[in-house]
Amino acid sequence: MAKDTPPKEGSKEQQKAHKKEQHQKVQVTEAPKGAVAPLPKGYRPRLADAYTSTVQPALMKDFNLSSRMATPKMVKIVINIGVSEAKENIQALDLAKEDLTMISGQAPQVRRAKKSISNFKLREGMPIGVRVTLRGIRMYEFMDRFVSLSVPRIRDFQGVDPRFFDGRGNLNIGLKEHHIFPEVNMEKSPKARGMNITFVTTAGDDKKGKALLEYLGMPFKKPEVKKAAVK
């Protein structure tokens, strides 16, 4: 009785395809913790509706604009967190990425040093921070949560200083603690990190930029009223 012959091996093309498939399986990594869920289809944030229905007509009236297209609007929000200890402890960078993902609702980008500085023990290409740029729906969602929930939690807050504008209607805010955001887990991230938030607009000047952000809910510091000198 003839013995069973072993199955013939596939062609070279099949072997190459099999090896490529196995190689791809090895390279697959797990999804990062706290991955951002996709937004529901047709969703529109309330701040975007408020801009269309309330803010635009108010700006047109204040600045005598004849067209809605001429009204200033917010283009993007850029959030930066510096992680200087990442030079020695790379886990600090991973923790900052996770915190910024939870705060912004979007995966951040790792920023690296552009040049070497010996006094700071810094080499070109070293990771030194994380950055995220928000546009569209996520931009309005972050603005809404920042003004409604985070700003009231700032210690000794007396209003945003209008001097933080850059002359073109863009506002830069520096925060000492990222713990003001309720999304941050204090147990996982006990160390307070500073961050910079930039609100980029199409205003072109500080007066229009301030009016736009003020209508969107940004609490600016009120000018001090000088008391009359007593004779």
The CATH code of the domain that includes 206 is 3.30.1440.10
State how far the alpha carbon of 218 is from the alpha carbons of 16, 72, 98, 214, in Å: 59, 15, 26, 5
pLDDT for res 132: 93
pLDDT for res 11: 63
Residue 118, in any domain of the structure? yes
Residue 31, in any domain of the structure? no
Q: Taking the model in full, what pTM does it have?
A: 0.75
Residue 20, in any domain of the structure? no
Exposure string of 197-214, with b = 16+ CB inside 10 Å and e = fewer, is bbbbbbbeebebbbbbbe
Taking each continuous run of H as one helix and of E as one strand, the counts in the chain are 6, 5
Residue 164, in any domain of the structure? yes
Residue 93, in any domain of the structure? yes
pLDDT for res 192: 85
Helix (H, G, I), strand (E, B) or coil at 93: helix
Q: Token pair for residue 201?
A: 């607009």
C-alpha span between 84 and 130 (Å, rounded): 11
Least Cα distance to 199 among 184, 218, 215, 181 occurs for 218
Domain count, the chain: 1
pLDDT for res 140: 93
Residue 71, in any domain of the structure? yes
C-alpha span between 208 and 213 (Å, rounded): 9
Which tens digit of pLDDT belongs to each residue from 106-153?
A: 888 887 777 777 766 667 777 778 999 999 999 999 999 999 999 988
Which tens digit of pLDDT belongs to each residue from 170-228?
A: 999 999 888 899 888 888 888 888 899 999 999 989 999 999 999 999 999 887 766 65
| Domain that includes residue 121, residue range | 46-215
Bigger pLDDT: 164 vs 17? 164
C-alpha span between 126 and 115 (Å, rounded): 9
Strand partners, 198: 78, 172
The answer, yes or no, to whether residue 7 has pLDDT greater than 50, is no
Strand partners, 150: none
Lowest mean pLDDT among 21-25, 41-45, 124-128, 159-163: 21-25
pLDDT for res 50: 92
Bigger pLDDT: 77 vs 159? 77
Bigger pLDDT: 199 vs 155? 199
Residue 29, in any domain of the structure? no
pLDDT for res 30: 38
Please give the backbone phi and psi of residue 79, each rounded to the nearest 5 degrees, phi first. -120, 125
Helix (H, G, I), strand (E, B) or coil at 30: coil
Residue 1, in any domain of the structure? no
pLDDT for res 227: 63
Which tens digit of pLDDT belongs to each residue from 65-110?
A: 888 898 999 999 999 988 877 767 778 888 888 989 999 988 888 8
Per-residue pLDDT band for 19 (boundaries 50, 70, 90) equals low
Least Cα distance to 129 among 113, 107, 105, 106 occurs for 113
Helix (H, G, I), strand (E, B) or coil at 109: strand
The DSSP line for 154-191 is STT---B-GGGB-SSS-EEEEES-GGGSTTS-TTT--S
